[in-house]
Structure 1
């Protein structure tokens, strides 16, 4: 559990700089340059991510059960992942109406992903991992929206074709993950 927590502290810590220390972040980035900042940020993110994945895998070997899971929560989580994948696609597909409306679809995707996994899982490691990422996503979304308001940010209007493409890409990615990749990668089949 220690490795999982250390990974979360590093990964979430790096991703929380804009939430809690935006001024400091901007000063350091200006002083060392954008490329050096991105390199350090990426390196720390990868180290944190690697530690949290390894720590979570280790915690799954000797799980601390918190409650008895119910089958319906697993199916609900699998269905909640559909909008999560669509939101994730909205972060990348240009000129879609979802991004035009919510402005930060990737953070919302993390919120839905973390909530879905909290519903479906029942160990202490699950609570630590998914609960931490859900809390981070709530705070990050709030902070991002505040920065948008302060900067009077305007997002490009979405188009019907961009929105349809977003939904299609997200739905296909969800289906591939739900019916094949999740089982292959993590040994758990959402619908199996």
Structure 2
């Protein structure tokens, strides 16, 4: 459990730096913009690997069960995950979905975390998904306070079919993840 908690602190800690503009600016001044981005990437990667191994180890040890969700909530989670993949794709593509959501990545993280809290009541899962949910909510509030609530400014107008492409790619990723990748990468079957 220590590895999971340490990984969450590293990963979410470094991802919380943008919430503190003065701290981020001080690091950029000290290391330079590229140095800061390199540090951000390295710490993120280390934290992410620690989260993966820590979560797997905690699950293998059989963490304490905090609540036992009913089986039917798995279907709700699967339903919530459909827009998660679409919103993840929308975060990287100029489209009307991105414009409407303003911060589709944060919306996706919140939906992913919340939906997984519905179906996973063990301590390791509550720590993992609960931490990401709290971070995403705090980051969204921080963006509004910093005057960035409107989201990223799109440099060009969305293409005619950009939303359709985003939805199709998102649905394709969802199907691929549900059928193969969740088991391959996470080690747990979806259903």
Aligned-CA RMSD value = 1.9
1:1-192 matches, within 5 Å, as 1-19=1-19, 21-61=20-60, 62-93=62-93, 95-149=94-148, 154-155=153-154, 157-191=157-191
- In structure 1, the gaps of 5 or more residues are none
Q: Which of 180-189 and 125-134 deviates more?
A: 180-189
Post-superposition Cα deviations, 1:146-185, rounded to whole Å, max 9, x if no partner, equal 3345899644553441111111110100010011211222
- For the Cα contact (< 8 Å) 1:99–1:158, is it kept in 2? no
- In structure 2, the gaps of 5 or more residues are none
C-alpha separation between the residues in 2 aligned to 1:54 and 1:150? 34
C-alpha separation between the residues in 1 aligned to 2:112 and 2:148? 26
- Cα shift at 1:108: 1.1
- For the Cα contact (< 8 Å) 1:100–1:158, is it kept in 2? no
TM-score normalized with structure 1 length: 0.90
C-alpha separation between the residues in 1 aligned to 2:151 and 2:6? 37
TM-score normalized with structure 2 length: 0.91
Q: 1:152 to 1:2 in 2, by over 3 A?
A: closer
- For the Cα contact (< 8 Å) 2:102–2:150, is it kept in 1? no
- Cα shift at 1:7: 0.7
C-alpha separation between the residues in 2 aligned to 1:56 and 1:149? 33
Q: 1:41 to 1:68 in 2, by over 3 A?
A: same
Q: 1:57 to 1:158 in 2, by over 3 A?
A: same
Q: State the number of aligned residues.
A: 189
Q: 1:14 to 1:153 in 2, by over 3 A?
A: closer
- Cα shift at 1:126: 0.6
- Cα shift at 1:18: 1.4
Q: 1:10 to 1:153 in 2, by over 3 A?
A: closer
- For the Cα contact (< 8 Å) 2:102–2:151, is it kept in 1? no
- Cα shift at 1:120: 1.1
Q: 1:124 to 1:151 in 2, by over 3 A?
A: closer
